[in-house]
Structure 1
Amino acid sequence: MIKLGKPETVTIFNQRSLSTLVRAIKLSYCQFSLILVRCNYVALQKKVAEELEVANQLPLPIGKIYLPESITTLFTPIYLEFKSQSLSCLMVFGLESVKAIEQLLVATNQVRDEFRKNLTLPLVIWVTDDILQKLTRFAPDFKSWASASIKFALPPNELLALWQQIAQDFLEQLLSAKAEFISNQELALAPGCQRRQALEFAREDLSIDEINLEPSLEAVWLLILGRDAYV
Protein backbone atom coordinates (compact mmCIF):
# COMPACT_ATOMS: atom_id res chain seq x y z
CA MET A 1 0.00 0.00 0.00
CA ILE A 2 1.31 3.45 -0.93
CA LYS A 3 0.23 6.54 1.01
CA LEU A 4 0.42 9.49 -1.39
CA GLY A 5 -1.86 12.13 0.08
CA LYS A 6 -1.68 15.54 -1.60
CA PRO A 7 -2.67 15.94 -5.29
CA GLU A 8 0.74 17.36 -6.18
CA THR A 9 2.41 14.29 -4.66
CA VAL A 10 0.22 12.00 -6.77
CA THR A 11 0.99 14.07 -9.88
CA ILE A 12 4.73 13.64 -9.35
CA PHE A 13 4.26 9.93 -8.62
CA ASN A 14 2.29 9.43 -11.87
CA GLN A 15 4.82 11.41 -13.91
CA ARG A 16 7.58 9.14 -12.65
CA SER A 17 5.47 6.09 -13.45
CA LEU A 18 4.87 7.38 -16.97
CA SER A 19 8.60 7.91 -17.48
CA THR A 20 9.24 4.38 -16.19
CA LEU A 21 6.66 3.00 -18.62
CA VAL A 22 8.15 4.85 -21.61
CA ARG A 23 11.63 3.64 -20.66
CA ALA A 24 10.47 0.03 -20.30
CA ILE A 25 8.84 0.12 -23.75
CA LYS A 26 11.90 1.66 -25.38
CA LEU A 27 14.26 -0.86 -23.78
CA SER A 28 12.22 -3.71 -25.26
CA TYR A 29 11.62 -2.20 -28.67
CA CYS A 30 11.32 -4.90 -31.36
CA GLN A 31 11.50 -7.71 -28.80
CA PHE A 32 8.97 -9.37 -26.57
CA SER A 33 8.63 -8.26 -22.98
CA LEU A 34 5.76 -8.28 -20.51
CA ILE A 35 4.97 -5.00 -18.75
CA LEU A 36 2.26 -4.90 -16.10
CA VAL A 37 0.69 -1.51 -15.39
CA ARG A 38 -1.35 -1.36 -12.19
CA CYS A 39 -4.25 1.09 -12.18
CA ASN A 40 -7.64 0.59 -10.52
CA TYR A 41 -9.56 3.26 -12.43
CA VAL A 42 -10.66 2.99 -16.07
CA ALA A 43 -10.74 6.77 -16.59
CA LEU A 44 -7.17 7.08 -15.34
CA GLN A 45 -6.04 4.21 -17.58
CA LYS A 46 -7.46 6.07 -20.57
CA LYS A 47 -5.86 9.34 -19.49
CA VAL A 48 -2.40 7.79 -19.10
CA ALA A 49 -2.66 6.02 -22.47
CA GLU A 50 -3.58 9.33 -24.11
CA GLU A 51 -0.67 11.10 -22.40
CA LEU A 52 1.67 8.42 -23.69
CA GLU A 53 0.46 9.01 -27.25
CA VAL A 54 0.56 12.81 -26.97
CA ALA A 55 4.12 12.71 -25.60
CA ASN A 56 5.11 11.09 -28.92
CA GLN A 57 8.25 9.55 -27.45
CA LEU A 58 7.85 6.26 -29.29
CA PRO A 59 8.85 5.60 -32.93
CA LEU A 60 5.66 3.74 -33.95
CA PRO A 61 1.97 3.87 -32.98
CA ILE A 62 0.65 2.24 -29.83
CA GLY A 63 -1.71 -0.67 -30.39
CA LYS A 64 -4.71 -1.09 -28.10
CA ILE A 65 -6.96 -4.05 -27.42
CA TYR A 66 -10.13 -3.74 -25.33
CA LEU A 67 -11.14 -7.20 -24.20
CA PRO A 68 -14.85 -8.12 -24.30
CA GLU A 69 -16.19 -9.65 -21.11
CA SER A 70 -16.98 -12.92 -22.92
CA ILE A 71 -13.44 -13.56 -24.14
CA THR A 72 -11.86 -16.91 -23.20
CA THR A 73 -8.36 -16.61 -24.67
CA LEU A 74 -5.75 -13.87 -24.44
CA PHE A 75 -3.15 -14.92 -26.96
CA THR A 76 -5.31 -15.03 -30.10
CA PRO A 77 -6.59 -11.41 -30.12
CA ILE A 78 -3.13 -10.15 -29.18
CA TYR A 79 -1.45 -12.09 -31.97
CA LEU A 80 -4.00 -10.96 -34.57
CA GLU A 81 -3.53 -7.31 -33.59
CA PHE A 82 0.25 -7.71 -33.63
CA LYS A 83 0.17 -9.12 -37.17
CA SER A 84 -2.10 -6.36 -38.48
CA GLN A 85 0.34 -3.43 -38.18
CA SER A 86 3.78 -2.29 -36.98
CA LEU A 87 3.61 -1.03 -33.40
CA SER A 88 5.87 0.30 -30.67
CA CYS A 89 3.93 -1.73 -28.14
CA LEU A 90 0.56 -3.36 -27.65
CA MET A 91 -1.64 -2.36 -24.71
CA VAL A 92 -4.33 -4.65 -23.36
CA PHE A 93 -7.29 -3.23 -21.40
CA GLY A 94 -10.31 -4.80 -19.77
CA LEU A 95 -9.07 -7.90 -17.94
CA GLU A 96 -10.99 -6.76 -14.86
CA SER A 97 -14.28 -7.12 -16.78
CA VAL A 98 -13.72 -10.62 -18.18
CA LYS A 99 -16.31 -13.01 -16.76
CA ALA A 100 -14.25 -16.21 -16.95
CA ILE A 101 -11.06 -14.51 -15.78
CA GLU A 102 -9.66 -17.46 -13.84
CA GLN A 103 -10.03 -19.84 -16.79
CA LEU A 104 -8.52 -17.26 -19.14
CA LEU A 105 -5.48 -16.78 -16.91
CA VAL A 106 -4.95 -20.52 -16.51
CA ALA A 107 -5.10 -20.93 -20.30
CA THR A 108 -2.69 -18.01 -20.73
CA ASN A 109 -0.21 -19.64 -18.38
CA GLN A 110 -0.43 -22.90 -20.33
CA VAL A 111 0.41 -21.24 -23.69
CA ARG A 112 2.83 -18.64 -22.30
CA ASP A 113 5.65 -19.74 -24.60
CA GLU A 114 3.54 -18.76 -27.62
CA PHE A 115 3.86 -15.12 -26.59
CA ARG A 116 7.66 -15.22 -26.71
CA LYS A 117 7.75 -17.27 -29.89
CA ASN A 118 5.37 -15.11 -31.89
CA LEU A 119 5.52 -11.54 -30.56
CA THR A 120 8.36 -9.10 -31.14
CA LEU A 121 7.17 -6.08 -29.19
CA PRO A 122 6.48 -5.07 -25.59
CA LEU A 123 3.11 -6.31 -24.32
CA VAL A 124 1.62 -3.82 -21.84
CA ILE A 125 -1.23 -5.30 -19.80
CA TRP A 126 -3.29 -2.99 -17.59
CA VAL A 127 -4.37 -4.66 -14.34
CA THR A 128 -6.21 -3.74 -11.18
CA ASP A 129 -4.99 -4.84 -7.76
CA ASP A 130 -7.43 -7.76 -7.89
CA ILE A 131 -6.27 -8.91 -11.32
CA LEU A 132 -2.64 -8.68 -10.25
CA GLN A 133 -3.39 -11.06 -7.38
CA LYS A 134 -5.20 -13.43 -9.74
CA LEU A 135 -2.25 -13.36 -12.14
CA THR A 136 -0.01 -14.46 -9.29
CA ARG A 137 -2.39 -17.28 -8.42
CA PHE A 138 -3.55 -18.53 -11.82
CA ALA A 139 -0.75 -17.51 -14.22
CA PRO A 140 2.42 -17.40 -12.09
CA ASP A 141 4.81 -18.49 -14.85
CA PHE A 142 3.43 -15.92 -17.30
CA LYS A 143 3.53 -13.17 -14.66
CA SER A 144 7.12 -14.03 -13.74
CA TRP A 145 8.25 -12.58 -17.06
CA ALA A 146 7.30 -9.09 -15.89
CA SER A 147 9.33 -6.86 -13.62
CA ALA A 148 7.61 -5.01 -10.77
CA SER A 149 4.30 -3.53 -11.89
CA ILE A 150 4.15 0.19 -12.72
CA LYS A 151 1.46 1.90 -10.63
CA PHE A 152 -0.73 4.93 -11.39
CA ALA A 153 -2.95 6.50 -8.73
CA LEU A 154 -5.71 9.08 -8.23
CA PRO A 155 -5.36 11.87 -5.63
CA PRO A 156 -7.85 11.97 -2.72
CA ASN A 157 -9.88 14.87 -4.18
CA GLU A 158 -10.49 12.89 -7.39
CA LEU A 159 -11.32 9.74 -5.44
CA LEU A 160 -13.96 11.67 -3.49
CA ALA A 161 -15.29 13.21 -6.71
CA LEU A 162 -15.55 9.75 -8.25
CA TRP A 163 -17.47 8.51 -5.22
CA GLN A 164 -19.81 11.51 -5.28
CA GLN A 165 -20.54 11.12 -8.99
CA ILE A 166 -21.33 7.41 -8.80
CA ALA A 167 -23.44 7.93 -5.67
CA GLN A 168 -25.38 10.74 -7.35
CA ASP A 169 -25.98 8.66 -10.49
CA PHE A 170 -27.09 5.72 -8.34
CA LEU A 171 -29.65 7.77 -6.39
CA GLU A 172 -30.97 9.44 -9.54
CA GLN A 173 -31.46 6.05 -11.18
CA LEU A 174 -33.38 4.79 -8.16
CA LEU A 175 -35.61 7.86 -8.15
CA SER A 176 -36.31 7.64 -11.88
CA ALA A 177 -37.37 3.99 -11.48
CA LYS A 178 -40.09 5.03 -9.00
CA ALA A 179 -41.83 1.85 -7.82
CA GLU A 180 -39.90 -0.48 -10.12
CA PHE A 181 -37.01 -2.34 -8.52
CA ILE A 182 -33.67 -2.09 -10.32
CA SER A 183 -31.03 -4.56 -9.18
CA ASN A 184 -27.41 -3.69 -8.47
CA GLN A 185 -26.50 -5.83 -11.47
CA GLU A 186 -28.59 -3.62 -13.76
CA LEU A 187 -26.90 -0.55 -12.29
CA ALA A 188 -23.38 -2.02 -12.76
CA LEU A 189 -23.01 -1.96 -8.97
CA ALA A 190 -23.12 -5.68 -8.21
CA PRO A 191 -19.94 -7.33 -6.86
CA GLY A 192 -17.42 -7.55 -9.69
CA CYS A 193 -19.04 -4.84 -11.83
CA GLN A 194 -16.84 -1.98 -12.99
CA ARG A 195 -18.53 0.82 -11.04
CA ARG A 196 -18.68 -1.33 -7.91
CA GLN A 197 -14.97 -2.08 -8.21
CA ALA A 198 -14.21 1.63 -8.63
CA LEU A 199 -16.08 2.41 -5.39
CA GLU A 200 -14.30 -0.36 -3.52
CA PHE A 201 -10.85 0.67 -4.73
CA ALA A 202 -11.51 4.35 -4.03
CA ARG A 203 -12.78 3.56 -0.53
CA GLU A 204 -9.65 1.52 0.18
CA ASP A 205 -7.30 4.16 -1.26
CA LEU A 206 -8.96 6.88 0.80
CA SER A 207 -8.59 4.79 3.95
CA ILE A 208 -4.86 4.46 3.27
CA ASP A 209 -4.67 8.27 3.34
CA GLU A 210 -6.82 8.22 6.52
CA ILE A 211 -9.73 9.98 4.80
CA ASN A 212 -13.27 8.94 5.67
CA LEU A 213 -16.29 9.23 3.42
CA GLU A 214 -18.94 11.79 4.32
CA PRO A 215 -21.85 10.26 6.29
CA SER A 216 -24.15 10.69 3.27
CA LEU A 217 -21.75 8.73 1.04
CA GLU A 218 -21.28 6.08 3.72
CA ALA A 219 -25.07 5.73 3.83
CA VAL A 220 -25.15 5.21 0.05
CA TRP A 221 -22.49 2.51 0.41
CA LEU A 222 -24.54 0.71 3.06
CA LEU A 223 -27.59 0.94 0.80
CA ILE A 224 -25.65 -0.64 -2.08
CA LEU A 225 -24.42 -3.44 0.18
CA GLY A 226 -27.91 -4.04 1.50
CA ARG A 227 -29.27 -4.40 -2.04
CA ASP A 228 -26.81 -7.18 -2.95
CA ALA A 229 -29.23 -9.81 -1.64
CA TYR A 230 -31.85 -8.81 -4.19
CA VAL A 231 -31.27 -10.05 -7.75
Structure 2
Amino acid sequence: MPDFNQNEELLSELIFALEMSQGDFRLFLARCNNLTQRDRLMERLQESFSGDLAKLQLDESVGELYATICQQLGEQQPDAFMVWGFESVKDVDKLLVSMSLVLDEFRKNFHFPILLWIDAEVSRKFIRLIPDFENRASLTVFETPTQELIDFIQQTSDCVYQKVLESGSGIFLYSTDLGLAESTYQELINARQELANRGISLETELEANLEFVLGRAADNYTEIALNHYQRSLELWQQVNNSVRVAHIYYYLGLWWQSYAVRHRVEKDMAFQKACSYFQQSVETFDISDRPDLVAKFINAWGKILQLLERWDELDIVAKRAIELHQTYS
Protein backbone atom coordinates (compact mmCIF):
# COMPACT_ATOMS: atom_id res chain seq x y z
CA MET A 1 0.00 0.00 0.00
CA PRO A 2 1.36 3.47 -0.88
CA ASP A 3 2.09 5.80 2.00
CA PHE A 4 3.11 9.37 2.69
CA ASN A 5 6.78 8.55 3.27
CA GLN A 6 7.09 6.73 -0.05
CA ASN A 7 5.74 9.76 -1.91
CA GLU A 8 8.12 12.05 -0.02
CA GLU A 9 11.05 9.90 -1.11
CA LEU A 10 9.86 9.96 -4.72
CA LEU A 11 9.46 13.72 -4.57
CA SER A 12 12.97 14.16 -3.17
CA GLU A 13 14.37 11.98 -5.97
CA LEU A 14 12.45 14.01 -8.57
CA ILE A 15 13.74 17.32 -7.18
CA PHE A 16 17.31 15.98 -7.17
CA ALA A 17 16.96 14.82 -10.81
CA LEU A 18 15.62 18.24 -11.85
CA GLU A 19 18.49 20.03 -10.12
CA MET A 20 21.07 17.71 -11.71
CA SER A 21 19.57 18.37 -15.17
CA GLN A 22 19.93 22.16 -15.08
CA GLY A 23 21.38 23.43 -18.35
CA ASP A 24 20.12 20.45 -20.38
CA PHE A 25 16.80 19.56 -21.93
CA ARG A 26 15.25 16.61 -20.16
CA LEU A 27 11.62 15.64 -19.89
CA PHE A 28 10.06 14.45 -16.63
CA LEU A 29 6.52 13.16 -16.16
CA ALA A 30 4.91 13.14 -12.71
CA ARG A 31 1.68 11.10 -12.61
CA CYS A 32 -0.84 11.80 -9.86
CA ASN A 33 -4.59 11.21 -10.13
CA ASN A 34 -5.69 13.21 -7.10
CA LEU A 35 -5.54 16.96 -7.77
CA THR A 36 -5.47 17.88 -4.09
CA GLN A 37 -2.48 15.63 -3.55
CA ARG A 38 -0.88 16.91 -6.75
CA ASP A 39 -1.21 20.53 -5.62
CA ARG A 40 0.35 19.63 -2.28
CA LEU A 41 3.28 17.86 -3.99
CA MET A 42 3.77 20.81 -6.35
CA GLU A 43 3.89 23.18 -3.41
CA ARG A 44 6.49 21.02 -1.67
CA LEU A 45 8.56 20.87 -4.86
CA GLN A 46 8.52 24.65 -5.25
CA GLU A 47 9.61 25.09 -1.64
CA SER A 48 12.49 22.62 -1.97
CA PHE A 49 13.82 23.30 -5.47
CA SER A 50 17.01 25.33 -5.18
CA GLY A 51 16.99 27.02 -8.59
CA ASP A 52 14.75 29.25 -10.69
CA LEU A 53 11.58 27.25 -11.32
CA ALA A 54 9.27 28.68 -14.01
CA LYS A 55 5.62 27.54 -13.96
CA LEU A 56 2.74 27.24 -16.41
CA GLN A 57 -0.85 26.24 -15.71
CA LEU A 58 -2.62 25.26 -18.91
CA ASP A 59 -6.04 26.69 -19.63
CA GLU A 60 -8.76 24.77 -21.44
CA SER A 61 -8.17 26.42 -24.83
CA VAL A 62 -4.40 25.92 -25.19
CA GLY A 63 -3.46 24.10 -28.40
CA GLU A 64 0.36 24.11 -28.50
CA LEU A 65 2.65 23.63 -25.54
CA TYR A 66 5.92 24.63 -27.25
CA ALA A 67 4.56 27.96 -28.52
CA THR A 68 2.91 28.68 -25.15
CA ILE A 69 6.18 28.13 -23.27
CA CYS A 70 8.08 30.30 -25.78
CA GLN A 71 5.54 33.08 -25.38
CA GLN A 72 5.84 32.99 -21.60
CA LEU A 73 9.65 32.78 -21.39
CA GLY A 74 10.81 34.95 -24.26
CA GLU A 75 14.62 34.81 -24.08
CA GLN A 76 14.70 33.50 -20.49
CA GLN A 77 16.21 30.12 -19.69
CA PRO A 78 15.06 29.07 -16.18
CA ASP A 79 16.69 26.26 -14.24
CA ALA A 80 13.56 24.15 -14.69
CA PHE A 81 10.03 24.50 -16.04
CA MET A 82 6.89 22.94 -14.53
CA VAL A 83 3.57 22.49 -16.37
CA TRP A 84 0.21 21.28 -15.07
CA GLY A 85 -3.46 21.37 -16.06
CA PHE A 86 -3.51 18.83 -18.91
CA GLU A 87 -6.72 17.33 -17.49
CA SER A 88 -8.56 20.61 -18.07
CA VAL A 89 -7.52 21.08 -21.73
CA LYS A 90 -10.54 20.55 -23.98
CA ASP A 91 -8.61 19.08 -26.92
CA VAL A 92 -5.73 17.44 -25.11
CA ASP A 93 -5.17 14.99 -28.00
CA LYS A 94 -4.41 17.90 -30.32
CA LEU A 95 -2.07 19.42 -27.73
CA LEU A 96 -0.11 16.20 -27.32
CA VAL A 97 0.24 15.58 -31.05
CA SER A 98 1.50 19.15 -31.51
CA MET A 99 4.20 18.44 -28.90
CA SER A 100 5.45 15.45 -30.87
CA LEU A 101 5.68 17.46 -34.09
CA VAL A 102 8.14 19.92 -32.55
CA LEU A 103 10.18 17.56 -30.40
CA ASP A 104 13.39 18.73 -32.08
CA GLU A 105 12.52 22.35 -31.26
CA PHE A 106 12.18 21.41 -27.59
CA ARG A 107 15.64 19.85 -27.65
CA LYS A 108 17.33 22.68 -29.58
CA ASN A 109 15.84 25.68 -27.79
CA PHE A 110 15.06 24.67 -24.21
CA HIS A 111 18.24 24.19 -22.20
CA PHE A 112 16.46 23.18 -19.01
CA PRO A 113 14.41 20.23 -17.73
CA ILE A 114 10.63 20.30 -18.14
CA LEU A 115 8.32 18.62 -15.63
CA LEU A 116 4.78 17.76 -16.77
CA TRP A 117 2.16 16.82 -14.17
CA ILE A 118 -0.36 14.38 -15.63
CA ASP A 119 -3.03 11.93 -14.51
CA ALA A 120 -3.50 8.30 -15.57
CA GLU A 121 -5.78 9.19 -18.48
CA VAL A 122 -3.29 11.68 -19.96
CA SER A 123 -0.49 9.21 -19.30
CA ARG A 124 -2.28 6.64 -21.46
CA LYS A 125 -2.66 9.25 -24.19
CA PHE A 126 1.10 9.95 -24.08
CA ILE A 127 1.80 6.28 -24.76
CA ARG A 128 -0.84 5.99 -27.50
CA LEU A 129 -0.44 9.32 -29.29
CA ILE A 130 3.19 10.42 -28.80
CA PRO A 131 5.30 7.37 -27.87
CA ASP A 132 8.46 9.08 -29.13
CA PHE A 133 7.93 11.87 -26.59
CA GLU A 134 6.94 9.48 -23.81
CA ASN A 135 9.94 7.21 -24.42
CA ARG A 136 12.31 10.13 -23.76
CA ALA A 137 10.66 10.99 -20.46
CA SER A 138 11.44 9.92 -16.93
CA LEU A 139 8.18 8.91 -15.19
CA THR A 140 7.47 9.25 -11.46
CA VAL A 141 4.18 7.78 -10.22
CA PHE A 142 2.73 9.23 -7.01
CA GLU A 143 0.13 6.90 -5.51
CA THR A 144 -2.54 8.29 -3.19
CA PRO A 145 -2.71 6.59 0.24
CA THR A 146 -5.83 4.45 0.67
CA GLN A 147 -7.29 6.48 3.53
CA GLU A 148 -6.78 9.68 1.57
CA LEU A 149 -8.79 8.24 -1.33
CA ILE A 150 -11.62 7.28 1.02
CA ASP A 151 -11.50 10.68 2.75
CA PHE A 152 -11.63 12.45 -0.63
CA ILE A 153 -14.79 10.57 -1.60
CA GLN A 154 -16.33 11.06 1.84
CA GLN A 155 -15.60 14.78 2.15
CA THR A 156 -16.65 15.61 -1.41
CA SER A 157 -19.88 13.63 -1.05
CA ASP A 158 -20.78 15.13 2.33
CA CYS A 159 -20.09 18.67 1.14
CA VAL A 160 -22.22 18.34 -2.00
CA TYR A 161 -25.12 16.69 -0.19
CA GLN A 162 -25.20 19.36 2.51
CA LYS A 163 -25.30 22.16 -0.07
CA VAL A 164 -28.08 20.66 -2.17
CA LEU A 165 -30.10 19.81 0.94
CA GLU A 166 -29.86 23.39 2.17
CA SER A 167 -30.91 24.78 -1.22
CA GLY A 168 -34.13 22.75 -1.35
CA SER A 169 -36.18 23.08 -4.51
CA GLY A 170 -35.77 26.84 -4.63
CA ILE A 171 -32.66 26.83 -6.81
CA PHE A 172 -30.72 24.30 -8.86
CA LEU A 173 -27.07 24.44 -7.85
CA TYR A 174 -24.68 23.96 -10.74
CA SER A 175 -21.29 22.29 -10.37
CA THR A 176 -19.47 25.56 -9.69
CA ASP A 177 -21.97 26.37 -6.92
CA LEU A 178 -21.21 22.99 -5.39
CA GLY A 179 -17.46 23.54 -5.55
CA LEU A 180 -17.06 20.84 -8.20
CA ALA A 181 -14.43 21.35 -10.88
CA GLU A 182 -14.84 19.84 -14.35
CA SER A 183 -12.30 17.20 -13.36
CA THR A 184 -14.12 16.15 -10.17
CA TYR A 185 -16.27 13.51 -11.86
CA GLN A 186 -13.22 11.73 -13.30
CA GLU A 187 -11.29 12.15 -10.05
CA LEU A 188 -14.06 10.42 -8.11
CA ILE A 189 -14.27 7.63 -10.67
CA ASN A 190 -10.48 7.22 -10.52
CA ALA A 191 -10.50 7.14 -6.72
CA ARG A 192 -13.14 4.41 -6.60
CA GLN A 193 -11.36 2.40 -9.29
CA GLU A 194 -8.02 2.68 -7.49
CA LEU A 195 -9.62 1.44 -4.28
CA ALA A 196 -11.18 -1.46 -6.20
CA ASN A 197 -7.74 -2.28 -7.67
CA ARG A 198 -6.48 -2.52 -4.10
CA GLY A 199 -9.33 -4.88 -3.17
CA ILE A 200 -11.21 -2.28 -1.12
CA SER A 201 -14.98 -1.83 -1.44
CA LEU A 202 -16.81 1.24 -0.19
CA GLU A 203 -19.41 0.88 2.54
CA THR A 204 -22.93 0.92 1.12
CA GLU A 205 -23.83 4.37 2.45
CA LEU A 206 -20.64 5.92 1.08
CA GLU A 207 -21.20 4.21 -2.27
CA ALA A 208 -24.77 5.54 -2.35
CA ASN A 209 -23.57 9.04 -1.50
CA LEU A 210 -20.86 8.81 -4.15
CA GLU A 211 -23.36 7.74 -6.82
CA PHE A 212 -25.49 10.78 -6.05
CA VAL A 213 -22.50 13.12 -6.32
CA LEU A 214 -21.44 11.47 -9.59
CA GLY A 215 -24.93 12.21 -10.88
CA ARG A 216 -24.56 15.85 -9.90
CA ALA A 217 -21.00 16.09 -11.23
CA ALA A 218 -22.02 14.60 -14.58
CA ASP A 219 -23.99 16.60 -17.11
CA ASN A 220 -27.45 16.61 -15.49
CA TYR A 221 -29.10 16.27 -18.92
CA THR A 222 -27.46 12.95 -19.79
CA GLU A 223 -28.44 9.37 -19.13
CA ILE A 224 -25.14 9.01 -17.27
CA ALA A 225 -26.55 11.28 -14.55
CA LEU A 226 -29.86 9.37 -14.56
CA ASN A 227 -28.05 6.04 -14.12
CA HIS A 228 -26.06 7.39 -11.17
CA TYR A 229 -29.24 8.69 -9.50
CA GLN A 230 -31.00 5.35 -9.99
CA ARG A 231 -28.04 3.44 -8.57
CA SER A 232 -27.91 5.80 -5.60
CA LEU A 233 -31.65 5.23 -5.02
CA GLU A 234 -31.19 1.45 -5.02
CA LEU A 235 -28.39 1.66 -2.46
CA TRP A 236 -30.25 4.05 -0.13
CA GLN A 237 -33.28 1.76 -0.28
CA GLN A 238 -31.05 -1.16 0.72
CA VAL A 239 -29.97 0.59 3.92
CA ASN A 240 -33.51 1.95 4.59
CA ASN A 241 -32.47 5.62 4.69
CA SER A 242 -35.83 7.18 3.84
CA VAL A 243 -34.57 10.79 3.95
CA ARG A 244 -31.92 10.08 1.34
CA VAL A 245 -34.41 8.07 -0.71
CA ALA A 246 -36.75 11.07 -0.70
CA HIS A 247 -33.94 13.32 -1.79
CA ILE A 248 -33.02 11.07 -4.73
CA TYR A 249 -36.69 10.97 -5.77
CA TYR A 250 -36.54 14.76 -6.03
CA TYR A 251 -33.47 14.67 -8.28
CA LEU A 252 -35.02 11.99 -10.47
CA GLY A 253 -38.00 14.32 -10.80
CA LEU A 254 -35.70 17.16 -11.83
CA TRP A 255 -34.04 14.95 -14.41
CA TRP A 256 -37.35 14.00 -16.04
CA GLN A 257 -38.53 17.59 -15.89
CA SER A 258 -35.49 18.74 -17.85
CA TYR A 259 -35.97 15.78 -20.22
CA ALA A 260 -39.48 17.04 -20.99
CA VAL A 261 -38.11 20.43 -21.95
CA ARG A 262 -35.53 18.90 -24.31
CA HIS A 263 -37.81 16.27 -25.88
CA ARG A 264 -41.07 17.96 -26.80
CA VAL A 265 -42.56 14.83 -28.41
CA GLU A 266 -42.26 12.98 -25.10
CA LYS A 267 -43.10 16.01 -22.98
CA ASP A 268 -46.32 14.69 -21.41
CA MET A 269 -44.78 11.33 -20.50
CA ALA A 270 -41.70 13.00 -18.99
CA PHE A 271 -43.75 15.53 -17.00
CA GLN A 272 -45.87 12.68 -15.61
CA LYS A 273 -42.72 10.85 -14.51
CA ALA A 274 -41.35 14.03 -12.94
CA CYS A 275 -44.63 14.62 -11.10
CA SER A 276 -44.62 11.05 -9.76
CA TYR A 277 -41.07 11.40 -8.45
CA PHE A 278 -41.77 14.79 -6.83
CA GLN A 279 -44.85 13.32 -5.17
CA GLN A 280 -42.87 10.32 -3.91
CA SER A 281 -40.23 12.70 -2.59
CA VAL A 282 -42.73 14.68 -0.53
CA GLU A 283 -44.55 11.58 0.70
CA THR A 284 -41.29 9.91 1.73
CA PHE A 285 -40.16 13.02 3.62
CA ASP A 286 -43.57 12.84 5.34
CA ILE A 287 -43.03 9.19 6.28
CA SER A 288 -39.64 10.19 7.65
CA ASP A 289 -41.36 12.77 9.89
CA ARG A 290 -39.42 15.63 8.30
CA PRO A 291 -41.98 18.41 7.70
CA ASP A 292 -39.08 20.86 7.43
CA LEU A 293 -37.83 19.01 4.35
CA VAL A 294 -41.34 18.69 2.95
CA ALA A 295 -41.47 22.50 3.15
CA LYS A 296 -38.17 22.76 1.27
CA PHE A 297 -39.10 20.44 -1.58
CA ILE A 298 -42.89 20.61 -1.99
CA ASN A 299 -42.87 23.54 -4.42
CA ALA A 300 -41.40 21.38 -7.20
CA TRP A 301 -44.46 19.12 -6.99
CA GLY A 302 -46.77 22.12 -7.16
CA LYS A 303 -44.97 23.54 -10.18
CA ILE A 304 -45.28 20.33 -12.19
CA LEU A 305 -48.96 19.98 -11.26
CA GLN A 306 -49.48 23.48 -12.64
CA LEU A 307 -47.73 22.55 -15.90
CA LEU A 308 -49.93 19.45 -16.15
CA GLU A 309 -53.02 21.55 -15.33
CA ARG A 310 -54.07 19.17 -12.57
CA TRP A 311 -55.82 21.95 -10.70
CA ASP A 312 -57.59 19.98 -7.96
CA GLU A 313 -54.39 18.29 -6.86
CA LEU A 314 -52.52 21.60 -7.11
CA ASP A 315 -55.06 23.22 -4.81
CA ILE A 316 -54.39 20.61 -2.12
CA VAL A 317 -50.60 20.78 -2.50
CA ALA A 318 -50.58 24.59 -2.53
CA LYS A 319 -52.62 24.84 0.68
CA ARG A 320 -50.29 22.33 2.35
CA ALA A 321 -47.27 24.33 1.16
CA ILE A 322 -48.67 27.59 2.56
CA GLU A 323 -49.18 25.97 5.98
CA LEU A 324 -45.66 24.55 5.98
CA HIS A 325 -44.02 27.76 4.85
CA GLN A 326 -45.70 29.69 7.63
CA THR A 327 -44.01 27.34 10.10
CA TYR A 328 -40.72 26.76 8.25
CA SER A 329 -40.11 30.12 6.66
Which AA in structure 1 matches 2:13?
T
1:66/1:93 contact within 8 Å kept = yes
SS of the equivalent of 2:3 reads helix
**Aligned-partner Cα distance in 2 for 1:28–1:96:** 26
Which AA in structure 2 matches 1:76?
A
1:183/1:230 contact within 8 Å kept = no
Q: In the alignment, does 2:153 pair up with 1:145?
A: no
1:195 maps to what in 2?
Answer: 184
Q: In the alignment, does 2:162 pair up with 1:169?
A: no
CA RMSD in angstroms comes to 2.3
1:94/1:126 contact within 8 Å kept = yes
1:160 maps to what in 2?
Answer: 150
Deviations 1:119-169 (Å, cap 9, x if unpaired)? 01000000100000011112222222113x101122122111111111012
Q: 1:83 to 1:130 in 2, by over 3 A?
A: same
Q: In the alignment, does 2:121 pair up with 1:130?
A: yes
1:12 maps to what in 2?
Answer: 5
Q: 1:121 to 1:41 in 2, by over 3 A?
A: same
Q: In the alignment, does 2:84 pair up with 1:93?
A: yes
Structure 1 residue ranges without an equivalent (≥5): none
1:63/1:90 contact within 8 Å kept = yes
Which AA in structure 1 matches 2:74?
K
1:208 Cα deviation after fit: 2.8
Which AA in structure 2 matches 1:50?
E
1:21 maps to what in 2?
Answer: 14
What fraction of aligned residue pairs are identical, expressed as a percent?
33
Higher-helix-fraction structure: 2
Residue among 207, 210, 215 paired with 2:196? 207
Which AA in structure 1 matches 2:186?
Q
2:77/2:110 contact within 8 Å kept = no
**Aligned-partner Cα distance in 1 for 2:205–2:26:** 46
Q: How does 1:41-52 map to 2 (within 5 A)?
A: 41-52=34-45
- When Rg is computed on C-alpha atoms for both structures, the one with the higher figure is 2
Q: Which structure's relative contact order is higher, taking Cα pairs within 8 Å and 6+ residues apart? A: 1
Worse-superposed segment, 180-189 or 43-52: 180-189
Structure 2 residue ranges without an equivalent (≥5): 222-329
1:103 Cα deviation after fit: 1.2
**Aligned-partner Cα distance in 2 for 1:189–1:54:** 28
**Aligned-partner Cα distance in 2 for 1:48–1:184:** 26
Q: 1:226 to 1:126 in 2, by over 3 A?
A: closer
1:75 maps to what in 2?
Answer: 66
1:230 Cα deviation after fit: 3.4
Which AA in structure 2 matches 1:230?
N
Q: 1:222 to 1:50 in 2, by over 3 A?
A: closer
Query: Number of matched residues?
Result: 219
SS of the equivalent of 2:74 reads helix
* TM-score (norm: length of structure 1): 0.84
Q: 1:171 to 1:150 in 2, by over 3 A?
A: same
**Aligned-partner Cα distance in 1 for 2:101–2:110:** 16
Worse-superposed segment, 93-102 or 151-160: 151-160
**Aligned-partner Cα distance in 2 for 1:114–1:187:** 43
1:42 Cα deviation after fit: 1.7
Worse-superposed segment, 153-162 or 82-91: 82-91
Which AA in structure 2 matches 1:15?
E
